[in-house]
Amino acid sequence: MDVVLTKHHGLGNDFLVVDLDGNGLDASSCDWADVAQRLCDRRRGIGADGLLLMGTRDGALTMRLHNADGSRAEMSGNGIRCLVQAGLHAYNMKLSSVDVVTDAGRRTVDVIDTNDEDLMMLSVSMGVVAPAPEPARWSELGCHPDRPVRHSSLGNPHSVVGVDDVTDVDLAELGSKVPDINLEIVAPGPTTDSIIMRVHERGVGVTEACGTGACAAAEAALSWGLAIAGDDGIAVHMDGGTARVIVDRTTSEAVLVGPAQFIGTVQVVL
């Protein structure tokens, strides 16, 4: 079965997007977990952090995300921007706002800049950064009791840890001890309205950026007094680049602003 897909990235967090309608497929057409494992492999496949299945429903796009290891993820802040870019291309849409139905609920993505259709700037209403219980095996990290820690959810689970210097931490080792969450380490940024973050993502490993993680980290930094929001929120500096996060301090709702970059189109045989 020949399938055409596109590849995109948001700050180095890269995704393969399959347009189900355009390829005459649906969610039951094949074992998508296996497809994700094969195609996301960086040596034997195309290479990506995840596979996004895109469809349409009731005037909205639908998003189903498989991590590189084949597991399902409820939400991705970088992935949803990539999916919207793919949808605008695939359906030749000139829209300023797109609704996307995800496993974490319905999200709205606003298009800020489309001067270059291959590099779009988008804003995502990410929902509430909600408190979450301590994840399983958390004690294995051996965090000092005085170190700031915040467990939260944006439909997917996050644990944010404050550190002095993100480069001093063996993040791959720490992340492997708590494989069922997204682990973010955060340090003060170069300005008062910024933080530095690195992330180990559930089902993937260390990635260059994480949109939901940036929101969790920004909310945690504000609650700790590690950063002070500016007029356009908090700048979250990650290995792949910088996103902006605006957190409503009353409702804890977050808005994520960042780019989506189109890389190319490829035809594969499944």
Q: What is the pLDDT of residues 189-230, one digit of tens each?
A: 999 999 999 999 999 999 999 999 999 999 999 999 999 999
The DSSP letter of residue 139 is G
The predicted pLDDT at position 117 comes to 79
Q: Are residues 171 and 59 in the same domain?
A: no
Q: How confident is the model at residue 92 (pLDDT cuts 50, 70, 90)?
A: confident
Number of domains within the chain: 2
- Residue pair 112/257 in contact by the 8 Å Cβ criterion: yes
Question: Is pLDDT at 103 greater than 90 in this prediction?
Answer: yes
Domain of 230, in residue numbers: 130-257
Over residues 101-112, mean pLDDT: 96
Q: Is the pLDDT assigned to residue 10 strictly greater than 90?
A: yes
107 and 92 housed in the same domain: yes
Residues 137 and 224 in one domain: yes
pLDDT at 95: 82
Distance CA 43, CA 23 (A): 25
* Res 244: pLDDT: 98
Judge contact between 210 and 73, C-beta under 8 A: no
H or E stretch covering 160:
strand 157-162
Residue 230 DSSP code: B
Q: Would the pTM count as exceeding 0.85?
A: yes
Looking at the structure, do residues 79 and 144 belong to the same domain, yes or no?
no
pLDDT band at 94 (very low <50, low <70, confident <90, very high): confident
Tens of pLDDT, residues 11-63 = 999 999 999 999 999 888 899 999 999 999 999 999 999 999 999 998 899 99
* CATH at residue 171: 3.10.310.10
Mean pLDDT of 247-257: 97
Q: Does residue 110 sit in the same domain as residue 141? A: no
